[in-house]
Amino acid sequence: METLDPWSSQIIDYEKLFKGFGIETMKIRDEKLKENKLFTRGIIFGHRDFYKWWNDFRNGKRVSILTGMMPSGPFHLGHKMVIDQLVWYQNLGISITFAIADIEARTVRKIDADKVKETVKSYLANAFALGLKPSQDIYVQSNRSNPYYRLADLLSSKMTFAEVEAIYGNMTPGKMISAFTQASDILHKQLPDYFGKHKILVPVGPDQDPHIRLSRDLADRIGFIKPSATYHGFARGLDGGKMSSSKPTSYIGLDEPIDVVKRKVANALTGGRNTLEEQKKLGGQPEKCIIFELYKYHFEDDDAKLSERERMCRAGEIMCGECKKQLIEKITKWLEKHQHKKDKEMARAEKFVEENIDYPF
């Protein structure tokens, strides 16, 4: 059996996800989903049991959303995509739980206490500025509740070492702790201490699928409802590789100075040809272009305008320089506004960190 290590930086083989691991292709079966460009544009490309969850929601039954982030590096556009989803569901009136995986950051990534605190502050301020309501259920793993920890402990008794290895491959003690902690993130809202049994949707990137499979197996073994999940495409890095917080040239950070962002976008890989003449003749290749992807994922809400940009690119009517210039203008405007909002949220984020994080060492 193939394994997938959520902590490595391997490039995900999408074919394998569908064939090997049983993720289903996302098909739009309800008009309401067409209000969200992440669905219509195929950015949310796969799911497990999404419609079981969605139908409960549409039938007025209790449902909720839960996802999490590990505070291990700068908050970038990949994180924004997750918060954008939470905000959309929140605006449909669905209850959101947002787990900040500080235990994972410390046990697996070995990030020191002060750095974790700083990072959590930034993640929260950014999330609030993007529209996540502070009244949602937001917590850090290190400061949840007894039922949540007891659940993590007991879940560990429901699996053998071989089963865990069959999902994750090579384990370390820290990874083991954070896997069962994450399973408790995903399952604990079904405890009687919280909402009781109900359907939960976990929107994640495909690298998190091992945790989803672990949690679904465990749910079955303790008589809980299996959590549903959706999977969104990874934004590629600006350099064409993987977007990774350990490679600053690969991402756009929402805390970065605007001049730095401008420079990064100006240097990003495009789907352009070797020479201007060639590009005018053959047209560009938007499917290879990071700039086009940025428009598609984040900076062009209007479908008609996006298609027109794609058409012009393929027809050789717009060159990469111009397309980048327009994007830089859009990003600059957006980022200035966002950073202003974020600054106003910093005090609230700081207070949360002070009240919620306290490590013995």
Contacts to ligand TRP by CB under 6 A: 66-70, 99, 101, 104, 182, 185-186, 202, 204, 208
Q: How far apart are CA 238 and CA 248, in angstroms?
A: 10
**Closer CB to ligand TRP, 101 or 111, in the complex:** 101
Q: How far apart are CA 70 and CA 87, in angstroms?
A: 19
Left if phi > 0, otherwise alpha if psi is -120 to 50, otherwise beta: which for 44?
beta
**Closer CB to ligand TRP, 164 or 204, in the complex:** 204
**Closer CB to ligand TRP, 69 or 238, in the complex:** 69
The bridge status of strand 63-69 relative to strand 95-100 is parallel
Q: Partners of 85 in the beta sheet?
A: none
In angstroms, what is the minimal distance from the CB of 152 to ligand TRP? 11
In angstroms, what is the minimal distance from the CB of 38 to ligand TRP? 17
**Closer CB to ligand TRP, 67 or 122, in the complex:** 67
- Tokens 């500080």 belong to 102
Strand order in the sheet with 228-232: 24-25, 44-48, 228-232, 199-204, 63-69, 95-100, 137-140
- Tokens 């993007």 belong to 130
In angstroms, what is the minimal distance from the CB of 273 to ligand TRP? 37
In angstroms, what is the minimal distance from the CB of 61 to ligand TRP? 21
**Closer CB to ligand TRP, 123 or 295, in the complex:** 123
In angstroms, what is the minimal distance from the CB of 117 to ligand TRP? 17
In angstroms, what is the minimal distance from the CB of 205 to ligand TRP? 8
230 SS3 class: strand
Q: Which residue has the closest beta carbon to ligand TRP?
A: 68
Q: How far apart are CA 203 and CA 82, in angstroms?
A: 7
- Tokens 């598609």 belong to 296
| DSSP H helical ranges for 59-145 | 77-91, 102-107, 113-129
200 SS3 class: strand
**Closer CB to ligand TRP, 66 or 323, in the complex:** 66
In angstroms, what is the minimal distance from the CB of 194 to ligand TRP? 15
In angstroms, what is the minimal distance from the CB of 206 to ligand TRP? 12
* Nearest Cα to Cα of residue 345 among 135, 138, 134, 139: 134
Q: Partners of 242 in the beta sheet?
A: 236
**Closer CB to ligand TRP, 23 or 186, in the complex:** 186
**Closer CB to ligand TRP, 253 or 272, in the complex:** 253
Count of residues in the chain:
361
* Nearest Cα to Cα of residue 181 among 97, 68, 86: 68
Rg (CA), the chain: 21
In angstroms, what is the minimal distance from the CB of 184 to ligand TRP? 9
**Closer CB to ligand TRP, 214 or 328, in the complex:** 214
